[in-house]
Amino acid sequence: MIELRNADQRGRGEHGWLSSRHTFSFANYYDPQQIGFSDLLVINDDRVAPARGFGKHPHRDMEIFSYVLEGALEHKDSMGTGSVIVPGDVQLMSAGTGVAHSEFNHSASDPVHFLQIWIAPNVKGAQPRYQQKNIVDTEKRGKLRLILSPDGADDSLLLRQDARVYAGRFNGAETAKLELDADRYAYVHVARGGVSVNGVALGEGDGARIRNERELTFGDGQDAEVLVFDLRNNEVSELWS
């Protein structure tokens, strides 16, 4: 079963320097029907004005990753990490016992567009850690490239949860399939463009909760970039509820 969530159904946050769309309940946006899905708790689609951003703020016991679509995002944290995240990069911060970080648009002239995603960890009080990796476009072109996993398979970043995250790019005749175990859920988020999943058309910003499907087929791409989450079979993480 594929349950579509259209882009225009998402929560909105307009703050002048920040334009945000919230797939799930976040900050001032609350919808009791949209309190995450399994261990996937947050998908924020953020556009930040030049030289603006989020000042230093704390997190704990959360797996937080950023995926830049356009521009450059500057990150600094209390672990001493400083980096600039650009398209193709996957950045994962495991907050664990606690970490504070800031995120700013690295450019003084161009906006930055990125996704920030939160996944509940399977352990509390772990040591904080930071990971970042660039994945070239050819590794995602016409396929689903594993980018986060609990075991670091296929040179993916290590995630503290029984979840796997894939990134893919699809255009024209390019297709890919993903097999799911019988007891798994999935979530698909279309970061840009359009694509079909098992014949269901999704546009930019659309998402889909997927249950009781053993195989996902991606095709009919229109310059599409997608993230796919292979998740545990439970509606909302017990660490979050």
Residue 234: its pLDDT value, please?
Answer: 84
Tell me the torsion sign for CA atoms 56, 77, 21, 125. Answer: negative
Q: Which long-range contacts (CB under 8 A, 24 or more apart) does 142-145 make?
A: 142/168, 142/169, 142/170, 142/174, 142/175, 142/176, 143/168, 143/176, 144/168, 144/176, 144/178, 144/218, 144/228
- Kindly write down the DSSP assignment for every residue of 35-83, as one continuous string: S-BBTEEEEEEEEE-TT-EEEEEEE-S-EEEEEEEES-EEEEETTS-EE
Its pTM stands at 0.96
Residue 36 vs residues 64, 111, 126, 191: alpha-carbon distances, Å: 14, 28, 22, 18
Two tokens at 233?
């079979």
- Please, how many CA atoms are within 13 Å of residue 188, restricted to the half-sphere of its CB? 34
Torsion of CA 74, 71, 153, 62, to 10 degrees: 50
Please give the single-letter amino acid code of residue 32.
P
Q: CA-CA distance, 122 to 150, in Å (whole number)?
A: 10
Please give the single-letter amino acid code of residue 1.
M
215 burial via Cβ count (<10 Å: 0-12, 13-18, 19+): exposed
Can you state the percent helix, strand and coil of the chain, rounding each to 5?
Answer: 5, 60, 40
Residue 1: its pLDDT value, please?
Answer: 93
- Full set of structural domains in the chain with CATH: 2-232 (2.60.120.10)
Q: CA-CA distance, 140 to 165, in Å (whole number)?
A: 12
Residue 241: its pLDDT value, please?
Answer: 46
Two tokens at 226?
């997608």
Percent of the chain at pLDDT exceeding 90: 89
Residues of the chain predicted below pLDDT 50: 241
Residue 101 vs residues 64, 148, 182, 232: alpha-carbon distances, Å: 11, 21, 38, 29
Helix (H, G, I), strand (E, B) or coil at 7: helix
